[in-house]
A and B are shown apart, each in its own frame.
Chain A
Amino acid sequence: MVETSKHPNVQLITNAEVKEITGYVGNFRIKIQKNPRYVDEKTCNGCGLCSEKCPVLIPNEFDANLGARKVIGLPFSQAVPAIYAIEKEFCTECRSCELVCEKKSIDFNQKPQEIELEIGTIIVATGLEVYKPSYYGYGTYPNVITEFELERLLSPNGPTEGELVRISDGKKVKKIAFIQCVGSRDLRSQPYCSTVCCMVAIKNATLVKQHHPEIELTIYYIDVRAEEKLNEEYFMRSKDFGIKFVRGKIGQILEDPETRSLTIYAEDTLRQTLINDTVDLVVLSTAMLSNPSAREISNMLGLEIDSYGFFKEFHYALAPVKTRIDGVSICGCAAGPKSIANAVSQAQAAAVTALHPLIAGKVEIELIRALVDTENCVGCGLCANACPFNAIRIENQKAVVDEILCKGCGSCAGVCPSSSITLRYYRDAQIDAQIDALAQ
């Protein structure tokens, strides 16, 4: 990330939202709203004096809200760029930061800035959202946590500096249960397999076991899907650390209101017995969801979105990073749940795909495009509404087709009441002639 920000050819715009995208491959125009940090980006040197003096603590989102951080500060210590920002909605505006800042970088009058850019190609990498279940007591029982929260607990720069403790009372953990497929393979949330949770759970369990061999650790799974390179070996080896794998998803979790320990009920489906055990922590391997903002971006770009909210690739197997819009590629979890290795290879593929038209300086298009008979067209606008690629606009009461955005799908020709739009190579007369030839 640091390297990216330092690269002379890379302009990094953070804390910003894309508001509008127009144009086509090679000539996209993007309107971006850059939200204020209330800290001058040019002068702030990240010394941290303001954060030290700030009296307001807010939940630390990077630490899965397990720890706290100051209202002014970095979202997390490796954040790029290392420029401090104020979370305005929580700020009391006591202005202690203003007093201590030697560079006079604090500026409460900053307003959202609008930036307009001309862009050749676009890569959509909106990432993922983690599923938060409403069952298994998540949110009500403090000792039921997600895989993500466990990772923060284990991290040396996490809220407990790597100490694995019960959330409820900070006591040592003796027994942990992992539940797989929480929200994945589940009609109540997402029917798909999130693909990485098995390996994430095994990785986290192994980490726990390496640091605390005395902790009793069981993974309750339906199927262990260790499908990528070396994953099966990793899974087999994890058993040597003493991690127990029980085939059967936990049915219910009950909390003792006094000790806050959790009693789990599950069926060991292989031994066909009831498991009734008391544990200190329950870790849920929750599903990967699409980013909620994906829908907005898809509307702006004219991309397709599947029923789960992921972007649709041009072809699942043969063009996995291309989209139906020329010059727009997708990568990573924007297109579906993915492991880091897969996301990286997709990112590299997307980068090359995006470079291709820029280096060539030209794009080839097919000639099957919509043609407007300007004499007949009355400019009713039905075609513009029907076009899935936003390729038709109405100018001077006439439809105008953008031949680069147009994909020749024919939706416009179908709805035009005066038959003013036809497709090149598929004009009515041509089709009539073909039918005649066939009928002879």
Chain B
Amino acid sequence: MTIKYNPNTCAQCGVCSGNCPLFTDLKLFSPRIAVYGTSIGYTISKDFLKQCLTCAACYTNCPMQINLPEAVREERAGLKEDPFCFAHKGFFHFLDKIMVSNKIWPRLKIWLPSGYKTSENNDIGYFIGCLPYLDIFFKDIGFDGKKIVQDALSILNKLGIEPVLLRTKCCGHDAFWRGEYQIFENLAKQNIEMIKASGVKKIITTCAECYRTLKIDYEKFDFNIEVLFISEFLEKHFPNLRFKPSEIKIGYHDSCRLGRHLNVYDSPREIIKAIAGTNFTEIMRRRENSLCCGVSAWMNCDENSKLIRTQKINDARKAKVESLIVPCPKCNIHLNCLLSEEAMKNTNLKVQDLTSFISSHFEGLR
């Protein structure tokens, strides 16, 4: 469970700033000062609330375990006006708002191609999340959300599992972290109703953000169905799985929601290692120190965000990685967006979703 924010134990050591991806030579973005301010009665500055990525690099490495991301989220909720400049002209912000309506539900049957076995009655359900919407918007940068769903279904089918396709909306992660609790609560309650009606006992997700939201943030709405990330689910079947080895150099990006928020570092690595063997290379900033993908909750995609992403790509290039595996569709989008730019045209680097990567090398049971 998340630890409550308490700034009083802060020793002002500055480890948070040393780990913060936004604290650079050019800019004074110091989590330490934010914590100091709150410990003597000030609120966190609007500028800080606007830019913080809530990536938890500060909190994970903090010797006193001061949960600043939690405080940022709460303070955002308390803001009267809407201070945030949203990326993509606020499209996703708007999407969250209209999704709250009870009349709008995703039409999965039309969207998803046939050929995958799903059932209406099974203990195992698959949570799709926002993938259908992201799909429409990011086709041009090479992101294919539909493929992630197809790949997840194909993995599960090969294991002999016919999952229930949960007809749910966005998990509400972005609204939650922007501090828009009303939207989050609405989405969460609708989703929980849908999930409970489907009768599943175990939910599998392929998105790091959905995973965190379902596992931690839905708890307060009496939601206690077991949630598993796809790599954790596969880990249980691990000795019986058969993989086609990968010939190219593979790297892995720890996304913040999966890694620092939920401490899932090893299960994706185990699977990648089983596929890539010695071709798996660790990139420089990894695990607890992993660099964020630069944007969270569709807020402020600016030059800082681009700088962080460039650093990430450079880390991967330095490690001579040819394919960087990411467990979160958002990280996938943000990194692919940078790679699609003119200046990056010559980069011999592919950013690939974890589920798609596993699926393309998965041959079935032993």
Taking Cβ atoms with an 8 Å cutoff, the residues of A that contact B are 135, 181, 185-188, 222-223, 247-252, 254-255, 257, 264-269, 272-274, 276
Contacts and interface: CB of A to CB of B under 8 A. Distances in A.
A269 B12 contact: yes
**Nearest 9 Cβ contacts at the A-B interface:** A251-B18, A267-B17, A267-B14, A186-B63, A248-B14, A249-B13, A251-B19, A222-B13, A265-B18
B121 interface: no
Given A250-B18, A274-B24, A187 B13 contact: no
B288 A135 contact: yes
Given A222-B11, A222-B13, A248-B18, A254 B61 contact: no
B14 A252 contact: no
B15 to A, nearest CB: 5
Contact of B13 (A181, A188, A273): A181
Given A135-B288, A250-B18, A274-B17, A269 B24 contact: no
Given A185-B11, A222-B13, A251-B19, A272 B30 contact: yes
Interface in B259-285: 284-285
Contact of B15 (A250, A254, A268, A273): A250
B12 A252 contact: no
Given A186-B63, A186-B64, A267-B30, A251 B24 contact: no
Given A249-B13, A251-B16, 10 more contacts: A181-B13, A222-B11, A248-B13, A251-B14, A252-B285, A254-B284, A257-B319, A269-B32, A272-B33, A274-B24
A252 B63 contact: no
A345 to B, nearest CB: 29
A209 B360 CA distance: 57
Contacts of A249: 13-15, 18, 63
B104 interface: no
7 contacts: A181-B63, A249-B15, A249-B18, A251-B61, A252-B18, A255-B284, A269-B13
Contacts of B14: 247-249, 251, 266-269
B18 A187 contact: no
B17 to A, nearest CB: 3
B63 A251 contact: no
B19 A135 contact: no
Contact of A251 (B12, B15, B33, B318): B15
Given A249-B18, A269-B32, A274 B63 contact: no
Interface string B1-42: 000000000011111111110011100101011000000000
B191 interface: no
Interface string B340-360: 000000000000000000000
Contacts of A187: 63-65
B53 to A, nearest CB: 15
Contacts of A186: 63-64
Given A274-B23, A276-B25, A266 B284 contact: no
Contact of B289 (A188, A252, A272, A274): A252
B118 to A, nearest CB: 43
Contacts of B23: 267, 274
A223 B12 CA distance: 10
Nearest to A246: B14
A273 B318 CA distance: 27
B32 A267 contact: yes
Residue among B18, B33, B319 having the largest count of chain A Cβ atoms under 10 Å: B18
Residue among A185, A267, A272 having the largest count of chain B Cβ atoms under 10 Å: A267
